[in-house]
Amino acid sequence: MSAPTTAEASVAMPDAKAGLLRSLGIELDRGSLSSDLVAGLTTAVMLIPQGMGYAMLAGLPPIYGLYSALLPLVVYAALGSSRQLAVGPVAMVSLLVAAGVGAIAETGSDAFVAYAILLALMVGVLQAGMGVARLGFLVNFLSHPVISGFTSAAAIIIGASQLKHLMGVSIPRSSSVVEVFSGAAAHAAETNLVTFAIGSGAIAALVLLKRYAPKAPRALIVVVASTLVVWGFGLYQQGVGIVGDVPAGLPALTLPTMNFEVMRELLPTAIAISLVGFMESVAVAKRFARQNGYEVNANRELIGLGLANLLGSFTSAFPTTGGFSRTAVNAQAGAKTRLAGVITAAVVMLTLVALTPLFHFLPKAVLAAIIMTAVIGLIDLEEVRHLWKVSRRDLGLLGLTFVATLGLGIEEGILVGVGASLVALVGRRLSQRRELPGADLWRAGEALEAGTAAAPRGLRLATQVHFGNAADLKERCRAEAAASPEAPLLLDASQTICIDASGEAALRELLTELGDRGPALWISGLEGAGRDLLQRAGLLEPASELPAELREVAGRTQGHRLVATAH
């Protein structure tokens, strides 16, 4: 067999590289490269000040926010499944780091920094291990009301934690909002008015820019303007807290400090971050995957995020995950592949090598303003109004999680919410007075004309549709709709006792996703509390005659058509 010619080899090599990049979701074409370049630069402009602020929220020097926005982005780009997800420091995870590590080390100390980096290693091992074991379904145990109550409370805690920087006073760190607010009130007379004016002005500017110039790099504009003002007028000499010297250069490659006693104490925090971080990341990843016509693999996401944290810990990164706001900016800026994340990391690298002196006079009050405006959207009042109308039981679960998170702390709030969800689920099962078949979530009904693409399809709902199987509900409906997009799909609910708010949310999200181009969705045999809940949610049209092709599948003539409604 003859060896390939030089010309053949030159053609084969680019083809091999292109095949490898395509397997990573990266296409070698001029259009994608241009879009990814713009998206990567745009996201970096947002990530750099935001990352520094989230490091401060975690109790770390701001430079660690840049370290955490470097290697984790590159690792995720190589291993993750989302093409738009922007990985890096996020508010929720930063707060968990501050609460968990702050319980065993003084905030800002060398030990605190070392343990935060060790925590990234632990989170990475847990997430990657869960991905290898295909345990992505575990996130389903965080029900919709629990997530809403937890994130709303966490947003308040995050905002409260920044009051000390906004006011320019010293307030002891606490996981109790009551203690933080009382501390702020006690030191109100000591407020540095110049600092407060800078922080308040930054909040106003960020809000106004979002409303009137939504595509402008708001954070960068505010950071540059405030830095120039503080430097130009010498306001740092009037007690305005500034970032100060930011170390230049790339982080050293080091092994995190291994302390097994500390690891045992940090394990609950690592588990909480692993689940909450994955939940936040996969939710936004799936949203943009649907918009761009591809699928996200939950277990691959766990592996990608896990190894991003694990390897990132070797370069002094604290725990990271995919963020809602940055991913939205990345997608809107035109990201087509994960190459955008690599470009973002390259800009962060350039900043570390050459631009860190520019952050010396950046006021901490502005970083606090960036954090506070970023998390305000997590307070989910719309979900409270929705559950008041749809399910008072689930509203009680949301309220319990909210109060527990505010009163007891972040990790405790999650545990209370998940525990209450499981207790409620067991209570519903014990209240059933008859044995019902259908241990699986679904059992596929027989199509009237097997093998015909447009044959109507039937799926049998479980006896209970709840937070534990709501995600599977959507996946199976989505698969059936894709298999026969022109045929109506019937959900047989004749054996369904109840549907909770997570089940209702899953159906609503599915209808919105399928839109007018998807198959008509019908439900039959639904009675009692489940029917009442979907009616209150506005998802059911009045009972009417089923289409002729569905009557034999349903075994009855009456049913409801499911319709998409605004939340």
pLDDT at 137 (0 to 100): 74
Rounded CA-CA distance 165/496 in Å is: 53
**Amino acid, res. 285:** A
Mean pLDDT, the chain, whole residue set: 82
Hey, which of 117-126, 143-152, 428-437 has the most confident mean pLDDT? 117-126
pLDDT mean over 225-254:
92
Please say if the pLDDT value at position 453 is more than 50.
no
pTM above 0.85, yes or no: no
List the domain range (segments joined by +) for residue 413.
380-430
Residues 526, 384, single domain; the answer is no
What are 290-345's pLDDT values in tens digits? 677 777 888 899 999 999 999 999 999 999 999 877 887 788 778 888 899 999 99
Rounded CA-CA distance 19/102 in Å is: 46
Is residue 13 in some structural domain? no
Residues 317, 363, single domain; the answer is yes
Which of 402-416 are b and which e, b meaning 16 or more Cβ less than 10 Å from the residue's Cβ? bebbbeebbbbbbbb
In this structure, the number of other CB atoms found within 10 A of the CB of residue 471 comes to 19
Please say if the pLDDT value at position 170 is more than 80.
yes
Range in 226-235, 396-405, 421-430 with the lowest mean pLDDT: 421-430
Sign of CA dihedral 19, 21, 26, 31: negative
pLDDT mean over 373-395:
84
pLDDT at 348 (0 to 100): 94
Is residue 352 in some structural domain? yes
Residues 423, 505, single domain; the answer is no
Total domains in the fold of the chain: 3
Please say if the pLDDT value at position 102 is more than 80.
yes
CB 71 within 8 A of CB 60: no
The better pLDDT of the pair 434, 168 is held by 168
Residues 423, 369, single domain; the answer is no
Is residue 15 in some structural domain? no
Assign 3-state DSSP to the chain and report helix, strand, coil percentages, each to 5: 65, 5, 30
What are 515-563's pLDDT values in tens digits? 766 778 889 888 888 888 898 988 998 888 888 778 777 778 888 888 8
The better pLDDT of the pair 527, 513 is held by 527
Sheet containing 544-545: order of strands = 443-444, 457-460, 489-492, 521-524, 558-561, 544-545
* Helix (H/G/I), strand (E/B), else coil: 166: helix
pLDDT at 442 (0 to 100): 38
Hey, which of 67-76, 95-104, 405-414 has the most confident mean pLDDT? 67-76
Strand 443-444 versus strand 544-545 pairing type: unpaired
pLDDT at 196 (0 to 100): 95
pLDDT at 240 (0 to 100): 92
The better pLDDT of the pair 475, 444 is held by 475
Residues 371, 454, single domain; the answer is no
Rounded CA-CA distance 374/328 in Å is: 13
Terminal C-alpha separation, the chain: 66
Residues 416, 498, single domain; the answer is no
Is residue 484 in some structural domain? yes
What are 475-484's pLDDT values in tens digits? 788 877 777 7
**What is the number of residues in the chain?**
567
Given 396, 430, 464, the domain boundary residue is 430
pLDDT at 321 (0 to 100): 94
Residues 418, 523, single domain; the answer is no
Residues 373, 384, single domain; the answer is no
Residues 402, 338, single domain; the answer is no
- For residue 459, the cross-strand partners are 444, 491
Is residue 12 in some structural domain? no
Residues 90, 38, single domain; the answer is yes
What are 245-262's pLDDT values in tens digits? 888 999 999 999 899 999
DSSP state of 562: B
Please say if the pLDDT value at position 144 is more than 80.
no
Residue 15 pLDDT grade (very low, low, confident, very high; cuts 50, 70, 90): low
Residues 73, 89, single domain; the answer is yes
CB 141 within 8 A of CB 291: no
The better pLDDT of the pair 475, 197 is held by 197
For 339, the token pair is 């190459």
Please say if the pLDDT value at position 142 is more than 80.
no
pLDDT mean over 154-161:
85
The CATH number of whichever domain residue 522 belongs to comes to 3.30.750.24
Q: In this prediction, what percent of the chain has a pLDDT beyond 70?
A: 86
Residues 222, 77, single domain; the answer is yes
pLDDT mean over 280-295:
77
Residue 437 pLDDT grade (very low, low, confident, very high; cuts 50, 70, 90): very low
pLDDT mean over 128-151:
82
Please say if the pLDDT value at position 22 is more than 80.
no
Beta strands (DSSP E) in 374-506 are: 443-444, 457-460, 464-465, 489-492, 498-499
Rounded CA-CA distance 260/274 in Å is: 19
Name the nearest CA neighbour of 530 among 481, 566, 491.
491
Is residue 437 in some structural domain? no
Residue 21 pLDDT grade (very low, low, confident, very high; cuts 50, 70, 90): low
pLDDT at 18 (0 to 100): 53
Is residue 8 in some structural domain? no
Is residue 551 in some structural domain? yes
Please say if the pLDDT value at position 10 is more than 70.
no
What are 483-506's pLDDT values in tens digits? 777 778 888 888 787 888 888 888
